[in-house]
Structure 1
């Protein structure tokens, strides 16, 4: 039976957590409330809801935007989703393969290669964009989805996560697979990949949010309005217009929903070494 002191402690803990959640979500709500009033109303954070929610958001999602009219809000959301999902999937795959190769193959200077990969964590992503853009332009990847995703495929952080996890896998699994005649790729696909799934899922989600919020690289590699992402669209519409604020509210929803729905898997995949 719970004591009064324990109930009071739980109440205080939940009160603090709920208060913090409400405090952090208040700015988003204030922006949402600003987009629910009639067009022409001054767009500013407010707490009172208007009556034009469906009208404003329906017109916003389907209206043509840009100087050429080649993009809509739905198109921007799709571009951001393709970029975020491709960015995360490719980074996760490359990181897993790199960690697998460094641990399970007799690569000369494997430790040196690994530490060189970790050095990339010391450099901001933006510091490599000029050289990366030069290579992408030479390969004809400007204004393509491959140009958005491929140049950012390497990830020292992802390699670190997978390497640390794979080091906890017992050597007996590899020996058993070898005795059964399984080659390296079959060992990876049938044994290691199912074990790595929680870590891969958590890393994918984190990288998806990073890709979704990426601004500078899409600005550099794309110039056509049909390739605009959500973040670039906010810069295009402006921060004080009705469509700009509406896009900012919509842009928060997909990554926030994924993080809320899969927060247990994220915590388990990144911090639970027993899976």
Structure 2
């Protein structure tokens, strides 16, 4: 292929105005060819004419933002991932840093009638192995993120007995919860998980359990279990209404602490789920 003297000249001619235009177009052309996509089916899914799709693939038209996202949906990718895919694929081809190749040097007719009809090897013969791998990884991530939501497991711990001073924010790992379930409980952005130790909240929460905390729910609701700070120590306890005063209660016994105005007390969040490792 012949390269133009100025690789970035595609920004000054034709419909391409930004690098994002070029990256999206490159991904669209390569995905269409790799998967031997039927032009009519693609047009029907996006909601435009087959002729318009043909112009887009030939580099003569740049679709609006809404249509770009429809193209990405056809290939089961997020639009942002599709743009990144085009950029990564161009970079892997070794184009110089000062610009991208002119579009006339890149256009390759998609194999609407089959790869052989375009006079090149079939896509399954290794030509697209790297691209297939990238697309497979992106689709797997899309599916995983759509089905599951990751919540950080923090270094902080809470005591269900004598109190804990460990309040670290460092993330040790991530726990995956079904997105539908966790969103029914609250906003995952305000949730975190910690380890709880002690036996004063048994059988509700066992020693060594992982507890999911919703830090967006800090208001007092009687008889709910909370992660809280009390006089410099971190606890997981049940909060109760004790004759008009706030009480900190344990589930395993009748111990009750009454919170006074002089106490250092703060509700960090409500405990909404718990699990423990098996020996």
Higher strand share: 2
User: Which TM-score bucket, shorter chain as reference?
Assistant: under 0.3
Which structure has the highest helix share of the two? 1
Q: Which has the higher contact order (CA 8 A, sep 6+)?
A: 1
Which one has a bigger Cα radius of gyration? Answer: 2
Using the size of structure 1 for normalisation, the TM-score is 0.23
